[in-house]
Structure 1
């Protein structure tokens, strides 16, 4: 995953955690605007989320943040 995308995921997770607490869940759609203006980036995250790690639709933001920070 590109460094730019990792930074975006971490920032969004931090925002969600700050707003709703440590148990807030996110889906991979949380990292995109409602309008699909970057399908390549969407597919990159979807592949990481669904194919590589076989995650559920919603996962705790703190877990996603930890995974991205660890380079998984």
Structure 2
């Protein structure tokens, strides 16, 4: 996954955790606007989420943040 996407995911997870607490869940759609203006980036995130890690639709934001920080 490209570095810019990793940084964006970390930012979004931090924002969600700050607003809603440590138990907040996210899906890979949380990292994108409501319109599909960058399908290649969306597919990159979806591939990481679904194919590489076989994650459920909603996953704890802190877990996602930890995975991204480890470089998974």
Report if TM-score (shorter chain) is over 0.5.
yes
List structure 1 segments (4+ residues) > 2 angstroms apart after TM superposition.
none
Q: Distance in 2 between the 1:44 and 1:68 partners? A: 14
Q: Partners in 2 of 1:48 and 1:9 — Cα distance?
A: 12
> Where does the alignment leave 5 or more consecutive residues of structure 2 unmatched?
none
Structure 1: segments with no counterpart, 5+ residues: none
RMSD, aligned α-carbons: 0.2
| TM-score w.r.t. length of structure 2 | 0.99
- The number of residues matched between the two structures is 72
What TM-score results when the alignment is normalised by the length of structure 1?
Answer: 0.99
